[in-house]
Amino acid sequence: MTDNYTLNTGAKIPKIGFGTWQIPDGEICYQATLTALKSGYRHIDTARVYGNEASVGKAIKDSGLNREEIFLTTKLPADIKVAAKVQETFETSLATLGTDYVDLYLIHAPWPWQERGADYTKENIEIWQEMEKINSSGKAKAIGVSNFNVADLSAILDNAKVVPAANQIRWFIGFTQDEVTKFSQAKGVLVEAYSPLATGQILDNEVIKAMASKYQSSVAQVAIRYCLQHGTLPLPKSTHEDYIAQNLDVDFAITEEDMAILDNLHLS
Ligand SMILES: NC(=O)c1ccc[n+]([C@@H]2O[C@H](COP(=O)([O-])OP(=O)(O)OC[C@H]3O[C@@H](n4cnc5c(N)ncnc54)[C@H](OP(=O)(O)O)[C@@H]3O)[C@@H](O)[C@H]2O)c1
């Protein structure tokens, strides 16, 4: 699967990205990212807070691919809610990644993780203005948000010059966040599906297992395919070479009937 979505900037974004959360910096992240690039991934998702930007950047450099062939995302830490800190934090990410630009820079969450749900609307609007400056500098080809609900996203849309290119949210079979998904998509904001395998929790589900055997695929492949058929962009993570390759090998179609069965599952 090497197809692309098109962002509202006009840029292409490979439909499946390689997730790197919880992959330790150093040899493990370096090898996993290199394996992903060798397996055909051209889209890597990291974040300042994952602590592994250095290994991701080194793998990109050593892959033999041109930087322009790879779509690279990183994120402004959720606990940075002071606009004056945005530029410096972004520059630190660029330096750690060892690149001149990222393809997508996201506000990691609308609130610091320890204050989930707190109202940082005013701060996020101010931060977005800094994100727009980074965007116009060309150092982030696109800018977006993550973990934003409808109210969070509306506040940005009402005040922004640049419409966010993506909203990266927790999204998998049985947890499809319909309200914010529909809202984002209607506004031209690509929904990126993080934790498309529910951080591994989906893998034992009996309904999905039965469907996977019907399609002679794995549960992971059905879960990834499901995201694509809903127009969301899955970001599967793995450190195993066979899983990494398998998660990109999803050129099959789930029937409408089976999609409806999956749509009726409720997981969390
Ligand atoms: N923006 C945010 O706030 C946010 C939050 C969470 C995640 N994310 C992004 O989304 C990415 C993915 O989410 P996630 O890390 O929660 O996990 P995930 O991709 O939903 O699931 C990863 C787990 O599934 C296992 N796995 C992967 N492929 C498999 C396969 N084909 N067969 C069997 N098991 C398989 C992995 O095992 P091994 O690793 O042992 O191979 C790992 O335990 C993150 O890495 C990150 O880039 C973003």
* Percent of the chain residues past pLDDT 70, beyond the cut: 100
Q: pLDDT-based confidence at 191, cuts 50/70/90?
A: very high
- Per the annotation, the verdict on 243 as an active-site residue is no
* Tokens representing residue 48 in the block: 């300042």
- Give, using CA atoms, the residue closest to atom 19 of ligand 1: 236
Look at residue 2 in the predicted model and tell me its pLDDT.
73
How far, in whole angstroms, is CA 14 from its chain's centroid? 11
Q: Measuring CA to CA, which residue among 114, 190, 205 is closest to residue 148?
A: 190
Catalytic residue selected from 30, 50, 120, 226: 50
Cβ of 147 below 6 Å from ligand 1: yes
Q: Measuring CA to CA, which residue among 19, 11, 1 is closest to residue 196?
A: 19
* Percent of the chain residues past pLDDT 90, beyond the cut: 99
Cβ of 166 below 6 Å from ligand 1: no
Mean pLDDT of 156-167: 98
Ligand 1 centre to CA of 65 (Å) is: 24
Interval 50-86: pLDDT, tens? 999 999 999 999 999 999 999 999 999 999 999 999 9
Mean pLDDT of 193-209: 97
CB within 8 Å of 198: residues ≥ 6 apart: 172, 175, 223, 267
Cβ of 116 below 6 Å from ligand 1: no
Look at residue 246 in the predicted model and tell me its pLDDT.
98
DSSP per position, 41-83 = --EEE--GGGT-HHHHHHHHHHT---GGGSEEEEEE-TT---G
Mean pLDDT of 110-118: 97
Residues 29-57, buried b or exposed e (16+ Cβ, 10 A)?
Answer: bbebbbbbbebebbbbbbbbbbbbbbbbb
Q: pLDDT-based confidence at 263, cuts 50/70/90?
A: very high
Instruction: Return phi, psi of residue 142, to 5°.
Output: -145, 155
Mean pLDDT of 232-241: 98
Cβ of 39 below 6 Å from ligand 1: no
Cβ of 203 below 6 Å from ligand 1: yes
* Tokens representing residue 209 in the block: 């297992």
Rounded to two decimals, the pTM is 0.98
- Give, using CA atoms, the residue closest to atom 11 of ligand 1: 19
Average of per-residue pLDDT values in the chain: 98
The beta strand positions in 203-246, using DSSP E, are 233-234
Minimum-distance ligand 1 atom for the alpha carbon of 75: 1
Look at residue 268 in the predicted model and tell me its pLDDT.
83
Write down the architecture of domain 4-200+233-251 according to CATH: Alpha-Beta Barrel (3.20)
- Give, using CA atoms, the residue closest to atom 9 of ligand 1: 194
Give yes or no for residue 1 having a pLDDT over 80. Answer: no
